Chains A and B, each alone.
Chain A
Amino acid sequence: AAGVIQSPRHLIKEKRETATLKCYPIPRHDTVYWYQQGPGQDPQFLISFYEKMQSDKGSIPDRFSAQQFSDYHSELNMSSLELGDSALYFCASSSRGRGDTQYFGPGTRLTVL
């Protein structure tokens, strides 16, 4: 079965640079979620989109922005990167009409030097 695809899988950036993470949800899923997992931490919710509209916002810094496109893929844009942004970033997708269970992608490991 098709799964959530994230790219890139690994990303290394310098402080103050910009990064863009991409997420391709499972086909026919209408909702995308972004989570950040720091080293040894549990995942923290950042933001979600339903039918291309932002539906909820968590602890996402103002330096970060995200959107969901017409083909339902989503991008997380991160600017003025800080050392503390180094983490695993997960995307998950779900379908509101089919039980809402979230299925996670493999994650993007961002390292800020």
Chain B
Amino acid sequence: GDSVTQMEGPVTLSEEAFLTINCTYTATGYPSLFWYVQYPGEGLQLLLKATKADDKGSNKGFEATYRKETTSFHLEKGSVQVSDSAVYFCALVGAGGTSYGKLTFGQGTILTVHP
């Protein structure tokens, strides 16, 4: 079945540091890939997405590129802020079959940014 693996956390950075959170996936065909963010005590917010190979999703300074050859969708940000502290989930939606539309999530990465 489909699966998503994220780098182990938690990740602790100083403000303005460079961020990378690794995400790899296993799926048949060409899934759609997502990054969701969960701030403390809140729900899941869509951060960015990519629906086909070599697509780059971007939002609020975050970027991720859909790499079919390495089955990866790593999240990057050039300069993090304290307000970026949250849990980040990589997720995919399968390319069809009987499991239409359900999201499969990675285990989440806790990011803490210090001033």
The finding on whether chains A and B are genuine partners in a shared complex, rather than unrelated, reads yes
Chain A 34-54 per-residue mask, 1 if CB under 8 angstroms from chain B, else 0: 010000011111001010000
- Interface members, chain B 68-92 (any A CB < 8 Å): 89
Residues of chain A within 8 A of B103, CB atoms compared? 33, 35, 43, 45, 92, 102
Contact A55–B101 (Cβ < 8 Å): yes
Contact B46–A42 (Cβ < 8 Å): no
Give A107 to B102 CA distance when docked, in angstroms.
Answer: 17
Number of chain B interface residues as a range: 20 to 34
Our count of residue pairs bridging A and B at CB distance below 8 angstroms stands at 59
Residues of chain A within 8 A of B99, CB atoms compared? 56
- Interface members, chain B 56-115 (any A CB < 8 Å): 89, 93, 98-108
Contact A33–B101 (Cβ < 8 Å): yes
Which B residues are within 8 Å of any A CB, using their own CB? Answer: 32, 34, 36, 42-46, 49, 51, 89, 93, 98-108
